[in-house]
Structure 1
Amino acid sequence: MSDVAVREATAADVPRIAALIAMGNAAKPMTAEEAEAEGRLPVYAEAFARVAASEANRLFVAEKDGRVVGTYQLTVLPGIAERGRTRGKIESVHVDPTLRGTGVGAEMMRHALDRARQAGIGLIELSSNKSRTDAHRFYERLGFAKSHEGFKMVLD
């Protein structure tokens, strides 16, 4: 049995979630101290409120020894393609850098896939920064395939 528990995030988790994301930013990773300060910015509480208000989105955290050590977001995407198959997107997967390779990410992905199935999702997708080769190997070991090339555009 794993010593990692995955649960739905609360507003109290937001500073730690934001810090984990900041530490895992492939373009500009922050130290733990910088990330903790970043996580206290009000924009993250505002963003959490929008996610929490959305029926299509759920934000989760992984806890180990009472401390939030990982996070991910699951989004349900109804659509017309593939005879109306509901898709899911796993987004913003982050694990405390000091705990990568210890099973936290695997436990979160098991949880994400279970939740996706419960939500009627028939196809799950995720994206990962091209520079995160260790993460790519991790996702491939879990059975994810590099089937598409992704594109992004910042609008603000």
Structure 2
Amino acid sequence: MTDIEIRPATLDDLDGLSHDSAELFAEDGLARDRLRDPDWPRDNNRAWCAGLIAAPDALVLVATEEGTVVGHLIGTFSPASSMWTAARAELVSTHVAPSYRGQGIGGRMVEDFIAWGKDRGAARLHVSAYTANSAAIRFYQRFGFVPLSIELTLDVD
């Protein structure tokens, strides 16, 4: 196995990051939510990822093998506000290419996110997963994430 490097993303990683993020969108979002627009990644993903790389309150990590992106993690930080009494960090997106799963890559990125959130003073770290994605739920629970709320939906058409 070649060494996998996990590091902050740069604009040089934008093509690979955008592709990996689109893979997650197709694998998880499109498969589990019929209201997702399948063309969103093609039309928006590159600009969305570039904006996050430049954002001071975002963590964008890439897992690379010999310069090729094989996984990513995106997190955001929100300071305390008039509504929220303490700072929070949200793990927005994480994905590892299927052929690289089971090697601890995702876990290393989640551990980096947890450390980043704590270092910034977050009192709560948050991640959401589709209820049908039991593997993702189990994965996050291994790092101490626990259910806080449940989202209920009613599709009317």
Q: Deviations over 1:15-65 (max 9, x none)?
A: 212222232232446xxxxxxxx97x5733322332234222221112234
Q: Distance in 1 between matches of 2:133 and 2:10?
A: 28
Q: Distance in 2 between matches of 1:148 and 1:81?
A: 21
Which sections of structure 2, spanning at least 5 residues, go unmatched? 32-39
User: Could you tell me which residue of structure 2 aligns to residue 32 of structure 1?
Assistant: none
User: Could you tell me which residue of structure 2 aligns to residue 144 of structure 1?
Assistant: 145
**8 Å Cα contact 1:6/1:111 also seen in 2:** no
Residue 44 of structure 1 pairs with residue 41 of structure 2: no
**8 Å Cα contact 2:16/2:68 also seen in 1:** no
Q: Distance in 2 between matches of 1:121 and 1:10?
A: 24
Residues 80-91 of structure 1 mapped to structure 2, 5 A cutoff: 80=81, 84-91=85-92
User: Could you tell me which residue of structure 2 aligns to residue 114 of structure 1?
Assistant: 115
**8 Å Cα contact 2:14/2:50 also seen in 1:** no
Q: Distance in 2 between matches of 1:126 and 1:151?
A: 17
The two structures have a TM-score, normalised by structure 2, of: 0.75
**8 Å Cα contact 1:75/1:89 also seen in 2:** yes
Q: Percent identity?
A: 25
Q: Partner letter of residue 130 of structure 1? A: T
- What secondary structure, in the 3-state scheme, does the structure 2 residue paired with 1:89 have? strand
* Cα RMSD, aligned residues only: 2.8
Q: Distance in 2 between matches of 1:10 and 1:151?
A: 37
Q: Distance in 1 between matches of 2:54 and 2:152?
A: 27
User: Could you tell me which residue of structure 2 aligns to residue 26 of structure 1?
Assistant: 28
User: Residues 151 and 111 of structure 1: is their aligned pair in 2 closer, same or farther, counting only changes over 3 Å?
Assistant: farther
Q: Distance in 1 between matches of 2:29 and 2:58?
A: 25
Aligned length: 142
Cα shift at 1:93:
0.7
User: Residues 19 and 8 of structure 1: is their aligned pair in 2 closer, same or farther, counting only changes over 3 Å?
Assistant: same
- What secondary structure, in the 3-state scheme, does the structure 2 residue paired with 1:116 have? helix
Q: Partner letter of residue 45 of structure 2? A: Y
User: Could you tell me which residue of structure 1 aligns to residue 58 of structure 2?
Assistant: 57
